[in-house]
Amino acid sequence: MTLLPQEIIVAKRDGKALDAAQIGGFIRGLTRGEVSHAQAAAFAMAVYFRDMTLAERVALTAAMRDSGTVLDWTDLPGPVLDKHSTGGVGDNVSLMLAPMLAACGAYVPMISGRGLGHTGGTLDKFDSIPGYRTQPDNALFRQVVRDVGCAVIGQTADLATADKTLYAIRDVTGTVESVSLITASILSKKLAAGLGALVLDVKTGSGAFMPSHDKAVELAQSLVAVANGAGLPTAALLTDMNEPLASAAGNAVEMRNAVDFLTGRHRDPRLLEVTLALAARGLVLCGLFADEAEARKAAERSLADGTALERFARMVSALGGPTDFVERMDHHLAKAPIVRDVTLSGEGEIVAIDTRAIGMAVVALGGGRTDPAQAIDHAVGFEALAGLGTPISGPTVVARLHARDEASAADAESRLRAALTLGEKAPTDPLLAGRVDPPG
């Protein structure tokens, strides 16, 4: 006998474990409109306070996956692999990683998101390319994945439809931070994408969604346990976000940084290390290589011989972008009217960075959203950002600012300076802060 929605809410409110049938019935009811938004909000709050067991998290994730279309890639001649990041500032890894993985033999149907809060969104970066279709129809998506090996697009309307409803409810009911609900939200979309393997980049530090290391570990462990419990081989790396990962933060500026990375004109050392580590872990996880040292060499080779760059250029063109985007990047990407250096005065070196504050400075420039419907200014942001340990002696350039007008430029300069702390010696926190491997 199926319980009524209110009985399921009461059971969870009272700390009881729900079985897969109860959770599946509740999510089906939400998808069909038989469970009200008020009931879904009460359910989310009950989960927030009472949490869920591993079995409940797996059941919730599977139910949300099955609330829409589940893609099938079994016709492809190679393994299907994807990566997901919990978000940060200057985190443009996906722009390079997808074509690198494709050049190494994986197929990468990367379904990405837009910016959230202070964190930049992969789709917003691709939207800076004129003509690029981040919402192609399913036929074009499948064709590009098959022909090029990778396609970076947005979530389609028919994937994990329950997640859209539940996420909107969580956003306005103070339940976004629930690890159980975060886990189901992230993984339901990845499971619906029909992946064969998934590598996760879970950020920790001042610019991370989960700033504390302990909470980041908790989230990584939950994601890996639930994904593997649902049948998707998954591993996670914990990476440092106590400073922007790339030396650029914005949309067009991060796209320029990514193209420079792929061409070899400039590669930020921390960005290179995280990208190669994720590539190596993912390529082993999907079975293309036996060990991470061998996989890393293949990823490095895709950069050195230009095959990753070639895949990127083909993907951009196949999804509607300019055929000469790589060659004429500066012609195609929007430019801000105000471009100038930002200086910081003092003596010492940068010993701490409020990375979240830098992300919010980009939002204040217009490069992020304060409202879901807000348009993005792709041209604005920072490049040549100074990192931890940068020596400061007198007025020292710490960034190059791209702004739309003088008022927003002055505000962003002030925010950036306030985010940087001077002292004697910067900490040396590890860039790769841990890993969570599949059970067994």
How do residues 245-293 score in pLDDT, each as one tens digit?
A: 999 999 999 999 999 999 999 999 999 999 999 999 999 999 999 999 9
The tokens for 118 are 């202070």
**Among the options 67, 94, 122, 275, which is catalytic?**
122
The closest of 240, 271, 263, 239 to 385, measured between CA atoms, is: 271
- Cα gap 399→402, rounded to integer Å: 10
pLDDT at 407 (0 to 100): 97
**Among the options 12, 57, 65, 84, which is catalytic?**
84
pLDDT at 177 (0 to 100): 83
96 confidence band (pLDDT: 50, 70, 90) = very high
425 is catalytic: no
pLDDT at 51 (0 to 100): 97
pLDDT for 161 beyond 70: yes
- Cα–Cα distances (Å) from 164 to 27, 77, 117, 120, 316, in that order, read 12, 32, 17, 19, 27
- Cα gap 71→51, rounded to integer Å: 30
185 is catalytic: yes
**Among the options 114, 133, 189, 332, which is catalytic?**
189
- Count CB neighbours of 171 within 10 A: 12
122 is catalytic: yes
Cross-sheet strand order for the sheet of 396-403: 249-250, 381-383, 396-403, 338-344
pLDDT at 213 (0 to 100): 92
pLDDT at 371 (0 to 100): 65
311 is catalytic: no
404 is catalytic: no
- Cα gap 213→203, rounded to integer Å: 9
Number of alpha carbons in the 13 Å side-chain half-sphere of residue 177: 9
Whole-prediction pTM? 0.94
**Among the options 94, 112, 175, 185, which is catalytic?**
185
16 is catalytic: no
- 365 — phi, psi (to 5°)? -70, -20
The closest of 206, 259, 223, 229 to 85, measured between CA atoms, is: 223
112 is catalytic: no
- Count CB neighbours of 173 within 10 A: 15
Q: What is the mean pLDDT of residues 368-391?
A: 88
pLDDT at 353 (0 to 100): 97
The tokens for 116 are 């959230």
Strands 81-85, 197-204: pairing kind: parallel
Lowest mean pLDDT among 35-39, 98-102, 153-157, 332-336: 153-157
**Among the options 57, 133, 190, 378, which is catalytic?**
190
- Cα gap 303→310, rounded to integer Å: 10
**Chain segment 399-436, per-residue pLDDT in tens:** 999 999 999 999 999 999 999 999 999 998 899 999 99
Question: Distance between terminal CA atoms of the chain?
Answer: 37
421 is catalytic: no
**Among the options 31, 61, 67, 85, which is catalytic?**
85
Domains along the sequence of the chain with CATH: 5-50 (no CATH), 81-328+432-436 (3.40.1030.10), 335-423 (3.90.1170.30)
How are the residues of the chain apportioned to helix, strand and coil, as percentages rounded to the nearest 5? Answer: 45, 15, 40
pLDDT for 117 beyond 70: no
37 is catalytic: no
335 confidence band (pLDDT: 50, 70, 90) = very high
pLDDT at 116 (0 to 100): 62
